[in-house]
Chain A
Amino acid sequence: MFSFLTSTVGKKYLMGLSGLIWTGFVFAHMAGNMLMFVSPDAYNIYGHNLVTGKLIYFVEGLLILALITHVVLAINLTLENRKARPSRYAMLGSKEKGSRWASRTMAIHGTIILIFIISHLITFKFGTYYETTVDGVVMRDLFRLMIEIFTQPVYLVWYFISLILLGFHLSHGVGSVFQSFGLLHPAYQPMIKTVSWVYAIVVVLGFLSQPIAVFLFHNNGGQA
Chain B
Amino acid sequence: MADKLINVKLKVWRQKGPKDQGSFKEYDAKNVSTSESFLEMLDQVNENLITKGEDPIVFDHDCREGICGSCGFMINGDAHGPQKSTTVCQLHMRAFKDGDVLVLEPWRASAFPIVKDLMVDRSALDRVISSGGYISTNAGGARDANSILIPKQDADEAMASATCIGCGACVASCKNASAALFTSAKISHMALLPQGQVERERRALLMVEQMDEEGFGACSSTGACSASCPKDISLTNIARMNREFLKASINKKPESSDSGGM
Contacts and interface: CB of A to CB of B under 8 A. Distances in A.
Interface of A: 1, 3-4, 7-13, 77, 80-81, 83-100, 103-104, 106, 172, 175-176, 178-186, 189
Contacts of A172: 221
A12 B218 contact: yes
A81 B224 contact: no
Contacts of A98: 223-224, 226-228
A182 B249 contact: no
Given A85-B177, A93-B173, A182 B242 contact: yes
Interface in B86-142: 103, 105, 108-111
Interface residues of B, number: 53
A10 B247 CA distance: 11
B56 interface: no
Contacts of B79: 93, 95
15 contacts: A7-B209, A7-B212, A9-B245, A91-B77, A94-B76, A94-B78, A99-B222, A100-B222, A103-B221, A104-B175, A104-B224, A179-B242, A181-B242, A183-B239, A184-B238
A13 B245 CA distance: 11
Contacts of B218: 8-9, 11-12, 77, 80-81
Contacts of A178: 239
B9 interface: no
B220 A103 contact: yes
A186 B234 contact: yes
Contact of B246 (A13, A96, A175, A179): A13
Contacts of B174: 85
A94 B217 contact: no
* Main DSSP-derived SS at the B contact region: mixed
A13 to B, nearest CB: 7
A84 B240 contact: no
Contacts of A77: 217-218
Given A9-B242, A89-B108, 20 more contacts: A4-B246, A7-B208, A8-B178, A8-B180, A8-B218, A13-B246, A84-B177, A85-B110, A85-B176, A89-B74, A90-B11, A90-B24, A93-B228, A95-B173, A96-B227, A98-B223, A98-B228, A179-B219, A179-B242, A182-B241
Contact of A180 (B108, B173, B211, B221): B221
A84 B221 contact: no
A182 B176 contact: no
Interface in B175-191: 175-178, 180
Interface of B: 11, 24, 74, 76-79, 82, 84, 103, 105, 108-111, 173-178, 180, 205, 208-209, 211-212, 215-224, 226-228, 234-236, 238-246, 249
Contacts of B243: 181-183
Nearest to B111: A84
Contact of B236 (A9, A91, A176, A185): A185
B76 A93 contact: yes
A81 B175 contact: yes
Contacts of B76: 91, 93-94
B178 A84 contact: yes
Contact of B175 (A85, A175, A180): A85
B62 to A, nearest CB: 23
B109 A84 contact: yes
A117 B212 CA distance: 33
Across the A-B interface, the 8 shortest Cβ-Cβ residue pairs: A98-B227, A182-B243, A93-B77, A84-B217, A184-B239, A93-B78, A176-B221, A81-B176
A95 B227 contact: yes
A103 B175 CA distance: 10
B95 to A, nearest CB: 12
B224 A87 contact: no
A175 B223 CA distance: 12
Contacts of A96: 77, 173, 224, 227
B208 A180 contact: no
Nearest to A84: B217
Given A8-B212, A9-B245, A85 B217 contact: yes
Contact of A184 (B177, B205, B217, B236): B236
Among B82, B175, B240, B241, the one with the most A-chain Cβ atoms within 10 Å of its Cβ is B175
A186 B236 CA distance: 7
B27 to A, nearest CB: 15
B153 to A, nearest CB: 11
Contacts of A185: 236, 239
